[in-house]
Amino acid sequence: MERMASDAPAPGGGAAGALQAALGAALLAMSARYSTGSEHAADAAARAEELIPAALRLADADAEAFGELSAAFGLPRDTDEQRAARSRAVQEATAGAARPPQELIGVGADVLGLARELNGWCNPNVLSDVAAAVEAARAAVATALVTLEINVRSLKDEAVVEQLRAEVARGERAVEDAAELSRRIRERVQD
CATH class of 11-190: mainly alpha
Q: Between vectors from CA 14 to CA 137 and to CA 21, what angle results, nearest 5°? A: 20
The Cα–Cα gap between 182 and 139 comes to 12
191 vs 112, which has greater pLDDT? 112
Distances (CA, A) of 43 to 104, 140, 148: 22, 23, 32
* Beta-carbon-side half-sphere exposure of residue 130 (alpha carbons within 13 Å): 31
Tens of pLDDT, residues 6-57: 988 888 899 999 999 999 999 999 999 999 888 899 999 999 999 999 999 9
The mean of the pLDDT values for the chain is 95
Tens of pLDDT, residues 50-83: 999 999 999 999 999 999 999 999 999 999 999 9
pLDDT band at residue 139 under the 50/70/90 scheme: very high
* Beta-carbon-side half-sphere exposure of residue 67 (alpha carbons within 13 Å): 10
For residues 77 and 83, the answer to whether their CB atoms sit within 8 Å is yes
- Mean pLDDT is lowest, of 9-13, 23-27, 130-134, 143-147, for 9-13
Q: 75: part of which helix (H) or strand (E)?
A: none
The rounded percent of the chain whose pLDDT value lies above 90 is 88
| The pTM of the whole model exceeds 0.85 | yes
Exposed e or buried b per residue across 18-47, where buried means at least 16 C-beta atoms within 10 angstroms of its C-beta: bbbbbbbbbbbbbbbeebeebeebeebbeb
Dihedral sign computed on CA atoms, order 179, 17, 170, 117: negative
pLDDT of res. 60: 95
Instruction: Classify burial at 162, counting beta carbons within 10 Å of its beta carbon; exposed 0-12, middle 13-18, buried 19 or more.
Output: exposed
Exposed e or buried b per residue across 80-96, where buried means at least 16 C-beta atoms within 10 angstroms of its C-beta: eeeeeebeebbbebbbb
